[in-house]
């Protein structure tokens, strides 16, 4: 193990009036350094996760992190992007900088401001994470892409509307206890299951409650080389960190298998010397409920086509076999693109250090993270454990 998370910060997610992309970035950068007890002068490198396919008129954003403190001037800073896995791409860049010996302390920030963009443009921006020659004209944008995936899954395995509603209800129930979450309301299974004026169909079999919301937010991590981490107040180590990139066109893959997700999980578990059942919980990428359902199968929690049973039996609920998204997931917490992967690492670290408050998983010792860009194109898995 070459690196540990030694400090973090997390903004509230949602429609954040009065905030700018710069204010979000600088606030979490300062707070993460303070939380770690690290001075800006001690930072060797900065990685900023920021999707920015049209959400911000400021297109050159790496140096915005330097606005947090003048002592960050002249530090190497790079913006990292990999669609909805942008935050985890930034985390991985920080880890690789430490592993290579180029840095001993890295500041990783993930941020996005989406709610100031008109709804139609949000859809166009997100659709850029698909393969445009095939999916560029998809109605309802990226929701339409996952609507097609859901429809194909239903055709192969039967109508899974009950399972999708169970996943949505679970994540909303979890999100009520997360102070950072955008939606802190227990919507219940019945509301999520049935079409209504407040829960209309959006794309294919997906209703509004099956789709993560448009969000603003930011999160930050301080990652330190293990010798330095040993001197810190807290240290959460990486048992594994894997990145698997798959083909962009869905036509080149069986999209219902999420093979890149499965490969990333397999590599991470081998690297960590662990089995899925050794994990205390998982934070997974539920941009749409159908994604979480297929991810159950890709990670090995269920056989192919049997993810619904896992959901319906409550295996992934708090107190179940493997709690999934105790934070409320993207569905309730929100999904500011560049911040999401960093947020997952922050909340997992909080769980492992016993600092997760009302969303705490009892006796959490090993946490898994899956962050995905596009339709299972960019696939990142981290397995974290508390070191001190």
The residue-averaged pLDDT of 24-49 equals 98
Mean pLDDT of 352-357: 98
H/E stretch holding 29 reads helix 21-36
Tell the residue number behind the tokens 């001690």, with chain if given.
Answer: 42
Structural domains of the chain, count: 1
- Residue 37 resides in a domain: yes
Q: Where are any strands of DSSP class E within 140-190?
A: none
Q: Is residue 258 part of a domain?
A: no
Beta carbons of 192 and 22 less than 8 angstroms apart: no
Check residue 195 and give left, alpha or beta (phi > 0: left; psi -120 to 50: alpha).
Answer: beta
Tokens (6 digits) for 163:
């399972």
Residue 304 falls inside a structural domain = no
* Confidence at 52, pLDDT banded by 50, 70, 90: confident
Compute CA distances 255 → 81, 83, 141, 166, 309, whole Å: 23, 17, 17, 22, 20
Q: Give the model confidence (pLDDT) of 153-211 as tens digits.
A: 999 999 999 999 999 999 999 999 999 999 999 999 999 999 999 999 999 999 999 99
Residues 54, 59, 63, CA angle at the centre, nearest 5°?
A: 140
Cα separations (Å) of 215 from 87, 111, 197, 335? Answer: 15, 10, 22, 6
Reported as a pLDDT band with limits 50, 70 and 90, residue 16 is very high
Query: How large is the angle between the packed helices 289-299 and 259-272, nearest 10 degrees?
Result: 50
Highest mean pLDDT, choosing among 8-22, 53-67, 121-135: 8-22
- Give mean pLDDT, residues 209-225: 98
10 Å CB burial of residue 278 (0-12, 13-18, 19+) is middle
Per the prediction, the chain carries an average pLDDT of 97
Q: Answer whether residue 266 is part of any domain.
A: no
* Residues of the domain holding 10: 3-117+214-229
pLDDT of residue 12: 98
Share of the chain above pLDDT 70, in %: 100
User: What's the pLDDT score for residue 347?
Assistant: 98
Token pair for residue 140?
Answer: 């309802």
pLDDT digit string, tens, across residues 312-323: 999 999 999 999
- Measured CA to CA, the distance from residue 382 to residue 5 in angstroms comes to 12
CATH number at 49 reads 3.40.47.10
Cα–Cα distance between 144 and 323 in angstroms, integer? 28
pLDDT at 143 over 70: yes
Strand partners, 107: 46, 222
Q: Using DSSP, state whether 16 is helix, strand or coil.
A: coil
Long-range contacts of 161-164 (CB under 8 A, 24+ apart): 161/193, 161/205, 162/193, 162/308, 162/312, 163/293, 163/307, 163/308, 163/311, 163/312, 164/192, 164/205, 164/206, 164/210, 164/289, 164/290, 164/293
Separation CA 346–CA 85 (nearest Å): 15
Nearest-angstrom CA–CA distance, 139 and 137: 6
Residue 339 predicted with pLDDT over 70: yes
Please report the pLDDT score of residue 388 as a whole number: 86
| Cα-trace Rg, the chain | 19
What is the spatial distance between Cα 5 and Cα 387, in angstroms, rounded to a whole number? 10
User: What is each CA distance from 41 to 5, 45, 48, 72, in whole angstroms?
Assistant: 18, 10, 18, 6
With a cut of 70, say whether residue 357 has pLDDT above it.
yes
The region of weakest confidence among 125-129, 212-216, 301-305, 367-371 is 125-129
| pLDDT at site 1 | 67
Encode burial over 123-142: b for 16+ CB neighbours within 10 A, e otherwise. bbbbbebbbeeebeebebbb
List the structure tokens of 262. 């499965």
pLDDT of res. 54: 80
The pLDDT value given to residue 188? 98
In a domain, 75, yes or no: yes
With 80 as the cut, is the pLDDT of residue 53 above it? no
d(CA 142, CA 122): 10
Q: Give yes or no for residue 275 having a pLDDT over 80.
A: yes
One-character DSSP codes across 183-238:
-----HHHHHHS--SSS-EEETTEEGGGBPPP-EEEEEEEEEEHHHHTTSS--EEE
The per-residue pLDDT for range 99-117, each reduced to its tens digit, is 999 999 999 999 999 999 9
Give 21's strand partners.
none
In this predicted structure, the answer to whether residue 342 has a pLDDT above a threshold of 70 is yes
Tokens of 257: 């298998």
């Amino acid at each position: 193990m070459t690196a540990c998370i030694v400090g973090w910060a997390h903004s509230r997610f949602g429609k954040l009036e009065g905030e700018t992309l710069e204010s979000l970035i600088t606030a979490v950068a300062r707070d993460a350094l303070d939380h770690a007890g690290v001075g800006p002068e001690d930072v060797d490198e900065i990685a900023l996760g920021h999707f920015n396919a049209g959400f911000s008129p400021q297109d050159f954003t790496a140096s915005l992190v330097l606005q947090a403190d003048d002592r960050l001037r002249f530090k190497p800073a790079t913006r990292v992007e990999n669609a909805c896995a942008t935050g985890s791409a930034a985390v991985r860049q920080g880890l690789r900088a430490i592993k290579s010996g180029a840095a001993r302390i890295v500041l990783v920030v993930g941020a996005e401001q989406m709610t100031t963009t008109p709804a139609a443009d949000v859809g166009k921006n997100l659709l850029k994470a698909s393969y445009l020659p095939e999916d560029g004209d998809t109605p309802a944008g990226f929701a339409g892409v996952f609507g097609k995936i859901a429809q194909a899954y239903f055709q192969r395995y039967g109508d899974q509307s009950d399972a999708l509603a169970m996943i949505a209800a679970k994540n909303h129930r979890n999100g009520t206890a997360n102070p950072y979450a955008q939606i802190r309301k227990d919507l219940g299974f019945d509301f999520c299951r049935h079409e209504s004026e407040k829960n209309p169909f959006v794309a294919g079999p997906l209703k509004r409650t099956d789709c993560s919301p448009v969000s603003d937010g930011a999160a930050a991590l301080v990652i330190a080389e293990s010798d330095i981490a040993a001197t810190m107040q807290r240290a959460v180590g990486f048992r594994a960190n894997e990145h698997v990139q798959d083909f962009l066109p869905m036509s080149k893959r069986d999209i219902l298998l999420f093979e890149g997700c499965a490969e990333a999980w397999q590599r991470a578990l081998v690297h960590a010397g662990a089995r899925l059942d050794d994990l205390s919980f998982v934070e997974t990428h539920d941009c749409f409920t159908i994604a979480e359902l297929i991810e159950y199968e890709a990670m090995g929690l269920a056989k192919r086509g049997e993810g619904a049973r896992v959901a319906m039996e409550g295996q992934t609920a708090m107190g179940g076999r493997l709690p999934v998204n105790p934070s409320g997931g993207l569905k309730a917490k929100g999904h500011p693109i560049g911040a999401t992967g960093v947020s997952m690492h922050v909340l997992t670290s909080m769980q492992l250090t016993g600092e997760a408050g009302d969303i705490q998983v009892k006796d959490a010792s090993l946490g898994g993270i899956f962050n995905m860009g596009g339709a299972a194109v960019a696939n990142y898995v981290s397995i974290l454990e508390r070191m001190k």
